[in-house]
A and B are shown apart, each in its own frame.
Chain A
Amino acid sequence: MDGIRIESLTKTYRAGQVRALDGVSLEIAPGEVFGIIGPNGAGKTTLLGCLLGFLRPDSGRVSIAGREPDDLAIRAVTGYLPERLTLDRWMTGLDFLAYHHALARLPATGRAAEAQAALARVGLDPDAGRRSIRRYSRGMLQRLGLAQALLGRPRYLFLDEPASGVDPAGVVLFRRLLDYVRAGGTTVVLSSHQLDQVERVCGRVAFVKQGRIEALETLHAGATLARVLRVRGPAGTIGEAVPRAALEQAAQRAGAELREVSPPLARFAVPDDAGAVRLVQALVAAGVPVAEVAPEEGRLERLFLEDGPPGGPA
């Protein structure tokens, strides 16, 4: 298997006093974009550390394409962006990318051009590339780190809080880059606190808590209708006097999707805030008496809010 297999992984710190991972088992398919979420101290970074071969598990095993995670053949096709990003500040951006290009054993021919291309891919201009990293802003550092992780189009990409410190334009760019690597068949493991991002880009998500996988959720990666609104009408209206067909037509006009009708409530999926406004306008225009509109928290948010799903470890 070309994917990632984690078997009964346990990792403790302080001579066994702190159990960071407790019998974690997972399989990540080749080409999958897999998210890891969970509260602070849940064990997400420890899990990534084991996947990268930085940490030695107490027991259990990690294999990537059937090999150890620190196998050089695996590292040659791995990209990594750490959460606490520290770059070699004495280099320029382009020097840094060329340096990692060489370390990744990528062909020397065209190294400068590939470094330039990597810089452009993350939206940094050539001027920034010639500047010392010491003078980079937090967002620029994150973009440069991402560019370095994407060098050579790796087969395995490990991202720890990749959009941290990045402006909204950077977040959009990050999503596009993930689409780009996903199209190339890269297996991505993404650890993040930004649940909306995870929900948008990941096919599956593991909710980690106290070193255990509490839930595995399958999502619709790249879903354009990411937000769900609950619309309530006065009694006897939605789903009764106003039929489902009328609600569907209004939703269609607004670019939304009717998910469920349960009088006096209807649930609609919309892409964003503007989509929500369009939906309400379309409903009012169609004569639907709207008494209340409320956003429904995402599935991943629910995992946090409910302090983990019922039913215990998955």
Chain B
Amino acid sequence: MNLTLVLATLRQRFTSPLRLFIVLLFGWMPMLPLLLAPRTGFAALGDCYFLALALAAGMIGQDLSSGTLQLLLARPVTRAQYVFSRWGAVAAGTFLITVLQTLVAALIMALRGVPVPWGEAALFLANGALLALGTASVMALLSSLAAGIGDLGLLFLVFISAQVLEKVGMFKSWDWLARGAGELSGALKPELDLAPLLHGGPVAWFAVVSYLSTVTLCLGLAVVVMNRRELSYASSGN
């Protein structure tokens, strides 16, 4: 990972007015139910999936379509470093907002006289971090495939396709199709629930392996796609 790239990505993501608006929307809207019913705890905040999507959209594709990638990769930066840096920055940005959300939520609870469940706060943060890393890896792959913010379109397309296939599988009683489509749908939102740890139980190995393999596969494929990509506009003009 390249720290200069990570910091530049974070600055870029947080200086875009539109993106900032969306991030604020997804970041602070969940505070409203908490204000009304503080006893619901951190569960009222939901998860950081849409926040991560807002920060991740176009993470690589926008550099591809704008042409800034050429200038960047003329520098001593490998394409793998570039992908990992973008991934790390998006995950870090999402986690940063999740931390702020947690602190503000804790403050609201404290001000409303509700004892802050710190264990639940830690779980919310840990699950948020894992979801941020997972979502960023999926978006890194999709963004390496599509220019601009076409990654969002691809995500939507895969999601709809998986839903349709799942329904077809269920209707036709083709278990393999329904299950495969379900896995595909789940892979678009790689998450790992660490709640069992809070209650002294283990996290299922299948869930851990499934999460790690999704993240690794997405990042690996994103690097392969980027390594194979030709960057000169001469290649598109001819």
The answer to whether A55 touches B15 (Cβ under 8 A) is no
The yes or no answer to B4 lying at the interface (CB within 8 A) is yes
B contact patch SS: helix
Stretch from B43-51, B112-120, B182-190, B227-235 at the A interface: B227-235
The yes or no answer to B172 lying at the interface (CB within 8 A) is no
- From B5, B12, B75, B77, A90 is in contact (CB under 8 Å) with B12
- In chain A, positions 1-56 with a C-beta closer than 8 Å to chain B are 13-14, 18, 20, 41, 43, 45-46, 48-49, 52, 54-56
- In chain A, positions 46-101 with a C-beta closer than 8 Å to chain B are 46, 48-49, 52, 54-56, 72-73, 75-76, 78-80, 82, 84-88, 90, 99-100
Chain B contact patch, size range: 20 to 34
B233 partner residues in chain A, CB cutoff 8 A: 45, 84
The yes or no answer to A223 lying at the interface (CB within 8 A) is no
Give bound CA distance, A43 to B234, whole Å. Answer: 8
The yes or no answer to A103 lying at the interface (CB within 8 A) is yes
The yes or no answer to B213 lying at the interface (CB within 8 A) is no
Give bound CA distance, A148 to B68, whole Å. Answer: 13
Question: Within the complex, what minimum Cβ distance (angstroms) separates A71 from chain B?
Answer: 9
Give bound CA distance, A104 to B71, whole Å. Answer: 11
The yes or no answer to B73 lying at the interface (CB within 8 A) is yes
B238 partner residues in chain A, CB cutoff 8 A: 13-14, 18, 20, 41, 46
**What is the 8 Å Cβ interface bit string for chain B, positions 195-237, against chain A (1 contact, 0 not)?**
0000000000000000000000000000000000011111101
The answer to whether A55 touches B12 (Cβ under 8 A) is no
B173 partner residues in chain A, CB cutoff 8 A: none
The answer to whether B8 touches A99 (Cβ under 8 A) is yes
The answer to whether B75 touches A75 (Cβ under 8 A) is yes
Q: Smallest CB-CB separation from B15: which chain A residue? A: A90
Q: Smallest CB-CB separation from B77: which chain A residue? A: A103
The yes or no answer to B96 lying at the interface (CB within 8 A) is no
A43 partner residues in chain B, CB cutoff 8 A: 234
A75 partner residues in chain B, CB cutoff 8 A: 74-77
Question: Within the complex, what minimum Cβ distance (angstroms) separates A101 from chain B?
Answer: 9
Give bound CA distance, A76 to B78, whole Å. Answer: 12
Give bound CA distance, A148 to B70, whole Å. Answer: 13
Question: Within the complex, what minimum Cβ distance (angstroms) separates B1 from chain A?
Answer: 13
Q: Smallest CB-CB separation from B232: which chain A residue? A: A49
The answer to whether B231 touches A54 (Cβ under 8 A) is yes
Give bound CA distance, A90 to B2, whole Å. Answer: 20
Give bound CA distance, A46 to B75, whole Å. Answer: 19
A90 partner residues in chain B, CB cutoff 8 A: 11-12, 15-16
The answer to whether B8 touches A55 (Cβ under 8 A) is no
- In chain B, positions 44-70 with a C-beta closer than 8 Å to chain A are 66-68, 70
- In chain A, positions 100-143 with a C-beta closer than 8 Å to chain B are 100, 102-105
- From A41, A56, A87, A88, B230 is in contact (CB under 8 Å) with A56
B77 partner residues in chain A, CB cutoff 8 A: 72, 75, 103
A18 partner residues in chain B, CB cutoff 8 A: 238
Chain A residues packing against B (C-beta within 8 Å): 13-14, 18, 20, 41, 43, 45-46, 48-49, 52, 54-56, 72-73, 75-76, 78-80, 82, 84-88, 90, 99-100, 102-105, 145, 148, 158
23 residue pairs from A and B, CB less than 8 Å apart: A41-B237, A46-B232, A46-B238, A49-B232, A52-B74, A54-B73, A54-B231, A55-B232, A56-B230, A72-B76, A73-B76, A79-B74, A84-B67, A86-B68, A90-B11, A90-B12, A90-B16, A102-B4, A103-B72, A103-B75, A103-B76, A103-B77, A105-B76
Beyond A78-B74, A82-B67, list 17 extra A-B contacts (CB 8 Å): A13-B235, A14-B238, A20-B234, A49-B232, A54-B232, A56-B230, A72-B77, A72-B78, A73-B76, A80-B74, A90-B11, A90-B16, A99-B4, A103-B5, A104-B76, A105-B76, A148-B71
